Amino acid sequence: MSKRHITAFFAPVARNKKPRLDLSSSIPPSIHPGYPFPIASLPATLRFSTRPKQDTDGGEPKSSADGEPEEIGPLVLNDKPDLDMLHFHPFLHKELARELYLFLRRELPFYRVTYKIKREGIDTTVNTPRYTSLFGVDATSIFHPDTGVLLDAKTKLSAKHGYATCAPRPIPQCLRSLLEHVEKRTNSAYNFLLVNYYANGSDSISFHSDDESFLGENPTIASMTLGSTRDFVMKHKSLLEQKLSLPLAQGDLLVMKGTTQSRWLHSVPKRKEAGPRINLTFRHAKTKAGTANYYRYNVGTGPVYRWDEEAGEMRIWTDEREKRKEDIGKKEEGEKVLEGDS
Residue 29 has pLDDT above 50, yes or no: yes
Residue 279 has pLDDT above 80, yes or no: yes
Is there a binding annotation on residue 208? yes
Is there a binding annotation on residue 315? no
> Quick check: 130 and 279 in contact, CB under 8 A?
no
Q: How do residues 97-146 score in pLDDT, each as one tens digit?
A: 999 999 999 999 999 999 988 888 889 999 999 999 999 999 999 999 99
| Fold annotation for 75-329 | Jelly Rolls (2.60.120)
Is there a binding annotation on residue 266? yes
CA 64 to chain centre: 29
Taking residues 216-237, what's their average pLDDT?
Answer: 98
- Determine the pLDDT at residue 162: 81
Q: Report the C-alpha dihedral over residues 63, 104, 115, 160, rounded to 10 degrees.
A: -90
- Determine the pLDDT at residue 61: 45
- Determine the pLDDT at residue 135: 99
- Determine the pLDDT at residue 70: 73
Taking residues 73-92, what's their average pLDDT?
Answer: 98
Is there a binding annotation on residue 198? yes
- Determine the pLDDT at residue 272: 92
**Confidence band, pLDDT 50/70/90 cuts, at residue 302:** very high
Q: Which of 61-70, 73-82, 139-148, 305-314 has the lowest mean pLDDT?
A: 61-70
Is there a binding annotation on residue 281? yes
Is there a binding annotation on residue 284? no
Q: Where are the domains of the chain?
A: 75-329
Backbone torsions φ then ψ of 291, nearest 5 degrees: -65, -45
- Determine the pLDDT at residue 140: 97
Across the chain, what does the average pLDDT equal?
89
> Quick check: 205 and 256 in contact, CB under 8 A?
no
Percent of the chain with pLDDT over 90: 75
Taking residues 91-95, what's their average pLDDT?
Answer: 96
Q: Which residue has the higher pLDDT, 319 or 186?
A: 186
- Determine the pLDDT at residue 6: 57
Is there a binding annotation on residue 321? no
